[in-house]
């Protein structure tokens, strides 16, 4: 089996799908690894690092796709709709492509890719079950994003995070509010606490209170009933507008007491819930900072502009995109581990095998033999009028 690693072409994407350390393990499984020149450079991995671990460096991208039985990417065409279009002419029938695909929102791109006859596995669809934790790219990349978000806030805030008692006086610690206590939120809490901030956190799911408090943060309980707030995968469920309206009112009071707000609330395949209104922003002190990690789906803050920094009444609202790519070395290591374990999961004694009775295989298989086969994606595509 030949595994191809092309260079990522999405603007600002500095990660690579497979790091050199993962090459030797796959070579030991009778796999041949072929890497596009410079594929790992932006993440700190030279071509010689790959060859020393047993990989080959291809002449160009065309050779990677022409020879590879399996192509591993950070962003497949679904998650790279502009620059990734050039790969449609390179993909072929029977070839297997594995990577992030934005499968719940990239219907047109998925249909185009299906015309090549390639088979696609979307890593975002890894089920949240115990035996799939080592393959979960969403959790891995959320860890990076939560960490980086707090560093961005600390850099932008016109004060330091920790309590300092100096000869020049006592400096009070910064106050940080984390909204959403999933993987990104919990990592943001831990990072802010390590920097010395006083941290509060809110999540619609009461079950995460213990996790929040174990990291040294105060769990904020709002006087609103969320009912059944968590789905089978552990994600927060979407609520009705009356709930969100009441939630916004309560969060505005808490946000105004903090110097930094980091929002992480996202619902897979849906727009991000609006949690911080423009009025809530204006009630914050000048110099305060909001980092909206949900900006790619519209944002949790009413004033968020994805990919930009907006200033309103002295408050900075940042809507960073693709934060894991800003920490490409470790993000690539984590992603590479996830995708390598997934590939090993597909490998049987006779090569790649698609056991459709297996939940991990079944839930991640998006297309095969020119057809989109994932029921959830076909259903969402049909509802979109296609």
Q: Residues in the chain, how many?
A: 386
Helices 183-194 and 137-156 cross at an angle (nearest 10°) of 40
Q: How much is the pLDDT for 228?
A: 54
Tens digit of each residue's pLDDT (9 = 90 or more) over 297-309: 999 999 999 999 9
Domain end residue (candidates: 321, 340, 373): 321
Claim to verify: residue 151 and residue 120 sit in the same structural domain: no
Claim to verify: residue 120 and residue 255 sit in the same structural domain: no
Residue 380 confidence (pLDDT) above 70: no
Claim to verify: residue 211 and residue 242 sit in the same structural domain: yes
Claim to verify: residue 356 and residue 379 sit in the same structural domain: yes
Q: How much is the pLDDT for 242?
A: 84
Tens digit of each residue's pLDDT (9 = 90 or more) over 104-119: 899 999 999 999 999 9
Q: Is 139 a catalytic residue?
A: yes
The vertex-65 CA angle with 378 and 117, nearest 5°, equals: 30
**Strand positions, DSSP E, the chain:** 2-5, 32-35, 56-57, 70-75, 96-100, 119-122, 164-166, 169-171, 175-179, 198-202, 218-219, 260-263, 289-292, 309-312, 315-318, 347-348, 351-352, 365-368, 371-372
CA atoms within 13 A on the CB side of 41: 10
Asked if residue 15 is part of any domain, the answer here is yes
Label residue 233 by pLDDT band (50, 70, 90).
Answer: low
CATH assignment at residue 266: 3.40.50.720
The residue annotated as part of the active site, out of 111, 235, 282, 380, is 235
Residue 142 contacts residue 184 (beta carbons within 8 Å): yes
Asked if residue 84 is part of any domain, the answer here is yes
Say how many C-beta atoms besides its own lie within 10 A of residue 297's C-beta: 17
Residue 231 confidence (pLDDT) above 80: no
Q: How much is the pLDDT for 79?
A: 97
Asked if residue 230 is part of any domain, the answer here is yes
Say how many C-beta atoms besides its own lie within 10 A of residue 75's C-beta: 22
The residue annotated as part of the active site, out of 7, 50, 75, 136, is 136
Q: Which domain holds residue 147?
A: 142-321
Asked if residue 132 is part of any domain, the answer here is no
Asked if residue 130 is part of any domain, the answer here is no
More confident site: 269 or 83: 83
Claim to verify: residue 241 and residue 151 sit in the same structural domain: yes
Q: How much is the pLDDT for 385?
A: 44
Residue 363 confidence (pLDDT) above 80: yes
The full DSSP string for 176-230 is EEEE--SHHHHHHHHHHHHTT-EEEEE-S-GGGHHHHHHTT-EEP--SS---S-B
Residue 238 confidence (pLDDT) above 80: no
Claim to verify: residue 366 and residue 312 sit in the same structural domain: no
Claim to verify: residue 291 and residue 163 sit in the same structural domain: yes
Asked if residue 259 is part of any domain, the answer here is yes
The domain tally of the chain equals 2
User: What are the angstrom distances between the C-alpha of 199 and each of 224, 241, 284?
Assistant: 21, 28, 16
Claim to verify: residue 202 and residue 292 sit in the same structural domain: yes
Claim to verify: residue 111 and residue 154 sit in the same structural domain: no
Q: Is 155 a catalytic residue?
A: no
Claim to verify: residue 286 and residue 347 sit in the same structural domain: no
Claim to verify: residue 29 and residue 48 sit in the same structural domain: yes
CA atoms within 13 A on the CB side of 168: 3
Q: Is 128 a catalytic residue?
A: yes
More confident site: 107 or 60: 60
The tokens for 82 are 């502009």
Label residue 235 by pLDDT band (50, 70, 90).
Answer: low
Asked if residue 48 is part of any domain, the answer here is yes
Distance in angstroms (rounded) separating the CA atoms of residues 344 and 261:
40
As a whole-number percent, the residues of the chain with pLDDT over 70 amount to: 94
The residue annotated as part of the active site, out of 67, 85, 128, 246, is 128
Q: Is 190 exposed, middle or buried (0-12, 13-18, 19+ CB in 10 A)?
A: buried
Domain end residue (candidates: 299, 321, 343): 321
Residue 270 confidence (pLDDT) above 70: yes
Q: What is the mean pLDDT of residues 37-60?
A: 98
The tokens for 73 are 């990417």
- When mean pLDDT is compared across 91-105, 158-172, 178-192, 218-232, the lowest value belongs to 218-232
Asked if residue 235 is part of any domain, the answer here is yes
Claim to verify: residue 188 and residue 273 sit in the same structural domain: yes
Average predicted confidence (pLDDT) for the chain: 92
Domain end residue (candidates: 288, 321, 354): 321
């Amino acid at each position: 089996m030949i595994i191809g690693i092309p260079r990522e072409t999405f603007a600002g994407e500095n990660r690579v799908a497979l790091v050199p350390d993962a090459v030797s393990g796959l070579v030991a499984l009778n796999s041949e690894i072929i890497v596009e020149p410079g594929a790992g450079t932006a993440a700190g991995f030279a071509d010689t690092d790959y060859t020393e671990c047993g990989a080959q460096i291809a002449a160009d991208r065309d050779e990677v796709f022409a020879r590879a039985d399996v192509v591993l990417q950070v962003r497949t065409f679904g998650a790279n709709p502009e620059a990734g279009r050039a790969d449609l002419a390179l993909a072929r029938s029977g070839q297997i492509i594995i990577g992030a695909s934005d499968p719940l929102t990239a219907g047109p791109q998925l249909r185009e890719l299906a015309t090549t006859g390639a088979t696609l596995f979307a890593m975002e669809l890894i089920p949240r079950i115990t035996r799939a934790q080592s393959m979960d790219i969403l959790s891995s990349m959320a860890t990076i994003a939560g960490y980086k978000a707090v560093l961005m806030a600390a850099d932008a805030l016109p004060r330091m995070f920790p309590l300092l008692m100096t000869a020049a006086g006592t400096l009070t610690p910064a106050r940080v509010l984390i909204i959403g206590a999933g993987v990104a939120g919990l990592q943001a809490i831990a990072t802010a606490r390590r920097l010395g901030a006083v941290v509060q956190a809110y999540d619609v799911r009461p079950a995460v209170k213990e996790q929040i408090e174990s990291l040294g943060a105060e769990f904020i309980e709002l006087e609103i009933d969320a009912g059944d707030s968590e789905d089978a995968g552990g994600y927060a469920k979407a609520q009705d507008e009356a709930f969100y309206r009441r939630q916004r009112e309560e969060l505005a009071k808490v946000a105004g007491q903090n110097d930094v707000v980091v929002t992480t609330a996202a619902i897979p395949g849906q727009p991000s819930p609006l949690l911080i209104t423009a009025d809530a922003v204006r009630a914050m002190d000048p110099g305060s900072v909001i980092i909206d990690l949900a900006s790619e789906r519209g944002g949790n803050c009413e004033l968020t502009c994805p990919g930009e920094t907006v200033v309103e009444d002295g408050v900075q609202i940042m809507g960073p995109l693709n934060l894991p790519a800003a920490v490409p070395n470790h993000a690539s290591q984590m992603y590479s581990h996830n995708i390598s374990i997934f590939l090993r999961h597909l490998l049987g004694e006779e090569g790649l095998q698609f056991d459709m009775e297996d939940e991990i295989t079944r839930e991640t298989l998006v297309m095969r033999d020119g057809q989109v086969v994932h029921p959830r994606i076909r259903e969402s595509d049909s509802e979109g009028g296609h």
